[in-house]
Each structure stands twice: as structure tokens, then as C-alpha cells.
Amino acid sequence: MQPVSLAMRGRSERLNARLAQDRHGRRQKGEPMSELNDIERGQICRSACDSLRSTEFGLSNFPGLLKKIIKHKAWECRHLVTEDGTPKGKVIELSSLRELITAKPIRGWGEDVRAVEAVIKDDPECLAMFREAMKCVNQHDAPKQAGDIVTKQEGQRETGNSRAYSIDRVKRACEPEVVAKVMSGEMSPNAALVKAGIRENRQVYIPREPAKAAKKLRELFGLEFVTAMLKHVQA
């Protein structure tokens, strides 16, 4: 019997090949390429579901596939497809990304939203897109997930400490260049919020080497803070 990870890899490769073939055919016919058709949406959703359930190869591909699903709202109308990407003929229409993730097969994936978020937590761009897509039209439509500490009082913005919330706060409150660093993974969301003075950093690791310590403090608090601290040290 073929190992599960290799089987998943082969299935994903067949789906990607089928998707590329279908898009090449549309390009040859002069059809617009900005949107995916129902079959292509089905192929991406199937490939993402298989990747999510893979223990090795597929997980690394999942964030990229999920971004495509969100970008094209692939859950709204998709053809069911076989393992090699061939359409089965049945079309599934869903109202949200949440429904795609949680609905029982064959309508959805039958997965836990928290499990999906855990897989994409190290991809800031995907996590931000995921959070935006998962927002409910009505805030009472779905409960908050465990581990996502969020509080809201009447007339106030949502606040919290989850990574997804932090990224959302960075996008709203920080300078564009800082946002770019966070989205690329160069800077953590927490460091960006601390640097902007929005969040207090209660746990700071400072290297023992003076040059590295100065660099770390400058990254966390800015040059003005380090200069002011130096004056107090020399006083």
C-alpha cells in the first residue's frame, strides 16, 4: 500500500496538473482569466481539503490554496471533483468560508475552524485574509473560538490578544512600512504594536552582547527610546 503522505502528494500533483490544463484551455479560447470557473473552484477546494488532511507534504501547500479560495470566494459555487480533478457533475453552493470548513462532506470539509487557523498561524497574510473572511454578518452567528481572548463592550472596538487580532490591529494602526514587515514575516505583530506604543511589552529578551542588546532595544522601542535610556545610564 502506498504511504498516505505519498498518496496525498500524488493526488495534489494530479489536481494541480488538471487545474493548469483547464486554465490553459480557457486561455486558448480567449476567456477571461481573472475569475475561476465552477470546476476550477472545485479543484482548488478539493486540493486544499486533501492538503489539510495530509500529515507531511500537503500542509505546506495549504496556506497558498486557502488564499486562492478566499480571493475567489470558491465556496459560493463549486463543482464536486474526483481525485484527479474531473468534475462529478454536482454543484455545491455555500454561504461562507466557515460553512465550507465545518459542513459535513460532501458539502464541506467537516473540519474544525481552530485546526485550520493553527495550520496557517505562521503565514500573516493568509491569517489576515482568513480572519476577514470568517467575520460573521451578525456577530452572534458563531461563538468565539477557545484560545482567542476577545472582549467587547457596547460602543467599543473589539480587543484581544490572539495572533489574528494582533495582525488586524497592526493593519489598522501601524505605518505602511511596518505593516509590510509584519505581512512578510520580518517583524512579529506583537513587536509592531509595542514599537507603535499600542501594546506594552512585559516580557523582553535582551541579548548579553551589548551591540546585539542595543539593536534589540532599538527594534522594540525605537532609536529615541534607546538614546534617552543612554542619557540616564551616563548620568
Count Cβ neighbours within 10 Å for each residue of 71-86 and write b for 16 or more, e otherwise.
ebbbbeebbbbeeebe
pLDDT beyond 60 at 130: yes
Alpha carbon distance 101, 165 (integer Å) = 20
**pLDDT band at 34; cut points 50, 70, 90:** very low
Determine the average pLDDT of the residues in 203-208.
Answer: 77
**Do you find a cis peptide bond into 120, omega within 30 degrees of 0?**
no
**pLDDT band at 12; cut points 50, 70, 90:** low
- The residue among 6 and 121 whose pLDDT is bigger is 121
Top mean-pLDDT range of 17-31, 65-79, 176-190, 219-233: 65-79
The string of DSSP codes covering 192-226 is HHHHTTSS--------SSHHHHHHHHHHHH-HHHH
User: What does the pLDDT look like over 74-116, one tens digit per residue?
Assistant: 999 998 988 877 888 789 999 999 999 999 998 999 999 988 9
H helices of the chain, where?
Answer: 4-28, 38-53, 62-72, 97-102, 113-120, 124-134, 163-173, 176-184, 189-195, 210-221, 223-234
Helix (H, G, I), strand (E, B) or coil at 152: coil
Q: State if pTM tops 0.85.
A: no
Determine the average pLDDT of the residues in 192-218.
Answer: 80
Domain ranges within the chain, ordered by starting residue: 1-122, 204-235
**pLDDT band at 203; cut points 50, 70, 90:** low
